[in-house]
Amino acid sequence: MADKSEDVIDIGRVGIWTGVLDGQPANKVREAAAELDEMGWPCLWIPETVSRDPFVAAAVLLEASSSMKVATGIASIWARDAMTTNNAHLTLNEAYEGRFLLGLGVSHHTLTEWVRKHDYSKPLTKMREYLERMDASMYKAAEPAEKPSRVIAALGPKMLELSAEAADGAHPYFVPVEHTEIARAAIGPDKLLATEQMVVLDTDPTTARETARAHMAVYLGLPNYANNLMRHGFTEEELTNADDRVVDAIVAWGTLDDVLARVKAHHDAGADHVCIQVLEADRAAVPTEAWRELGAALLG
């Protein structure tokens, strides 16, 4: 695979993706960021739903660490106008010396129309126009030393195409390995492909899949993810029932070696970076020990 442009942020081959820190007080968030940084994790991905503001949260995480990058996976384009997003992107990268990666997405119909009260009828057009407005934004403050990078949460062919045309790459979420190969072909060899992978470090098939299903339930009910999985050959019935085949395609469970094999499979399929989301039975628990175990095996 060709090397990425020097203009694109280097987030390493693996990272951590987690939403559990939103449930922790700020002092615990700072401790977790410092621990991940000490472990050597090159990048931490955080979401945006109805919890902390991701740009404020990113500033807290960047301040608590010294070398780790922080990425949004993803910041919703419906949550703020394009100039606000652009200027936050520049502000964080100037303040923290290029350690912030902006991941943008169109979110989902439920969060956009029911919660935020926006019209979700043309998400692809909205994303294209949003990126254009970002590029045309005024910014009169101190600039970062380098142009900051941005990726798009992309699943389908049209959004993947846009991620290559108007961004530095794609951040697919909740996808099987087969999607990584398709995404690489769609965005070309030189764009950043950062794929999320859920994992459960549990060798018991019953309990491992129970943990996986509890985390997967909300995503299987969202049309963007369901439609993408049906493009990969899964049936509506399989998704509704969260059949073993669906669980096993999305979540790598078992031994540490099983998880490492799935990460390698994504890399072999074309991913530059795999951000690992550790799932535990206690959904509020911060999986520090699992992060440490994975880090010891992957970061060496």
Supply the pLDDT for residue 119: 87
> Span 140-150, mean pLDDT?
97
Cis bond before residue 276 (omega within 30° of 0): no
Per-residue pLDDT, 113: 79
Which CATH number describes the domain made up of 14-298? 3.20.20.30
Long-range contacts of residues 172-178, Cβ cutoff 8 Å, at least 24 apart: 172/196, 173/73, 173/74, 174/198, 174/216, 174/219, 174/225, 174/228, 174/250, 175/228, 175/250, 176/229, 176/232, 176/249, 176/250, 177/249, 177/262, 177/265, 177/266, 177/269, 178/232, 178/269
Q: Is pLDDT at 97 greater than 60 in this prediction?
A: yes
User: What is the model's pLDDT at position 143?
Assistant: 97
Give the pLDDT score at 1: 32
pLDDT number for residue 116: 80
Identify the pLDDT of residue 4. Answer: 56
pLDDT at position 2, please? 36
Mean pLDDT of 164-183: 98
Residue 136: the pLDDT is: 98
Q: For residue range 41-59, what is the model confidence (pLDDT) as tens digits? A: 999 999 999 899 999 999 9
Q: What is the pTM of this model?
A: 0.96
Confidence grade of residue 3 (pLDDT, cut at 50, 70, 90): very low
Report residue 108's pLDDT band, with 50, 70 and 90 as the boundaries.
Answer: confident
- Apex CA 125: angle with CA 141 and CA 170, to 5°? 70
Per DSSP, the residues of the chain read: -PPPPTTS----SEEEE-SGGGGS-HHHHHHHHHHHHHHT--EEEE--SSSS-HHHHHHHHHHH-SS-EEEES-EETTSS-HHHHHHHHHHHHHHTTT-EEEEEE---HIIIIIIS----S-HHHHHHHHHHHHHT----SPPPSSPPPEEE---SHHHHHHHHHHSSEE---S--HHHHHHHHHHH-TTSEEEEEEEEE----HHHHHHHHHHHHHHHHTSHHHHHHHHHTT--HHHHHHT-HHHHHHHEEESSHHHHHHHHHHHHHHT-SEEEEEE--SSTTS--HHHHHHHHHHHT-
pLDDT mean over 72-97? 97
Domain boundaries, the chain: 14-298
Q: What is the pLDDT of residues 241-287, one digit of tens each?
A: 999 999 999 999 999 999 999 999 999 999 999 999 999 999 999 99
Q: What per-residue confidence (pLDDT) applies to 122?
A: 95
pLDDT of 5: 59
pLDDT tens profile 178-227: 999 999 999 999 999 999 999 999 999 999 999 999 999 999 999 999 99
Residue 37 contacts by C-beta under 8 Å, 6 or more apart in sequence? 64, 65, 66, 67, 68
What percent of the chain shows pLDDT beyond 70?
98
